Amino acid sequence: MPNRDIALEYMCIERDIFNDDLGRNFLFSKYASGNIFQVMTNLCIDYLEQLRQQTIETPELISLLAGYQMLPQLYRELLIDQAISTINCSPEELEEAREQFYQTHNLAEESQRQTWLQVQGMTDTQLLKLATRSLLVEKYKLATWGNKLESHFMTQKPHLDQVVYSLLRTREIGTAQELYFRIKAGEQSFAELAREYSQGMEAQSGGLIGPMALSQPHPQLAAKLRACQPGQLLPPSRLGDWFVIVRLEQMLPAKLDESTRKKLLDGLFQKWLEESLQGLLNKSRQQEVVTAR
């Protein structure tokens, strides 16, 4: 199928006349500008113009948003707008945010921005607001939780510390004990024996696992690793259906660097957002019940 037909079929906006060659040729001549992506853009813009001419009352709009599962997202964005409404930025910060947004979305030229606005159904004012929104959100996070990061980091540190360790597992205690003594005596390397005898996915890496968050391994295993020194080989112990031999290779304590700060701020923001959204949805449901009565 020619590219123009693929584009028109995917958009399929004017379905009634798409099903025959004459209809396809009509649509192509109506929208084509020599670029297949422009054809799709033109189709989308034309369809949006048709939608704009329709009048949708508020109750119907709410019902449509709920039906499309978009109502929680709308509430989420409204909560964010309310939160950042008191955040201020310098003109330089706003200009930098706008330029970065334009570059990211390939909107450096005015013609590109106008086409994008048509497709999105947005105004220039809405575009400027969208372009600076991420900046305002980041400043809100810092203003709200920035002075709490150190204490929050200390409570989260056990979940942020990372570890590298070697693991060999088998279902037979006798095999586990024999392999442990071979490693301890230096007869064979941990990696060599893990590749040959370990019965888990770690065999492919010679038993080496990580770096990974210390909160990810089995709690019993994590506790053993926390109590180890790098290079320490632990004798076989039972873990579920397995007998495991473990050696701590490296402990990587978390640091409150810029990457960790961002991760913590993002987590606090998302927690606040989810809790606020749930409260808003609960209130909305309660109002619906009262109205129904």
State residue 47's pLDDT score.
Answer: 56
Counting as low any pLDDT under 50, the low residues of the chain are 1-19, 24, 26-27, 31-33
The token duo for 125 is: 């004012």
Q: Is residue 171 part of a domain?
A: yes
State residue 6's pLDDT score.
Answer: 41
Q: Is residue 106 part of a domain?
A: no
Alpha carbon distance 265, 153 (integer Å)? 10
In DSSP terms, 237 is beta-bridged to 244
CATH of the domain at 180: 3.10.50.40
Q: Is residue 219 part of a domain?
A: yes
Question: 253 and 161 in contact (C-beta within 8 Å)?
Answer: yes
Alpha carbon distance 121, 104 (integer Å)? 19
What is the per-residue DSSP string for 205-255? GTTEEEEEETTSS-HHHHHHHHT--TTPEEEEEEETTEEEEEEEEEEE---
State residue 60's pLDDT score.
Answer: 75
Alpha carbon distance 269, 276 (integer Å)? 10
Q: Is residue 9 part of a domain?
A: yes
Q: Is residue 111 part of a domain?
A: no
State residue 197's pLDDT score.
Answer: 96
Q: Tell me phi and psi for residue 39, to 5 degrees.
A: -60, -45
Question: 111 and 122 in contact (C-beta within 8 Å)?
Answer: no
Q: Is residue 227 part of a domain?
A: yes
Residue 180 belongs to domain spanning? 162-252
CA 125, 105, 121, 46 dihedral sign is positive
State residue 158's pLDDT score.
Answer: 87
Alpha carbon distance 290, 293 (integer Å)? 5
State residue 202's pLDDT score.
Answer: 95
Question: 122 and 130 in contact (C-beta within 8 Å)?
Answer: yes
Q: Is residue 8 part of a domain?
A: yes
Number of domains in the chain: 2
pTM across the whole model: 0.68
Q: Is residue 288 part of a domain?
A: no
Cα dihedral 88, 90, 91, 95 in deg (nearest 10): -90
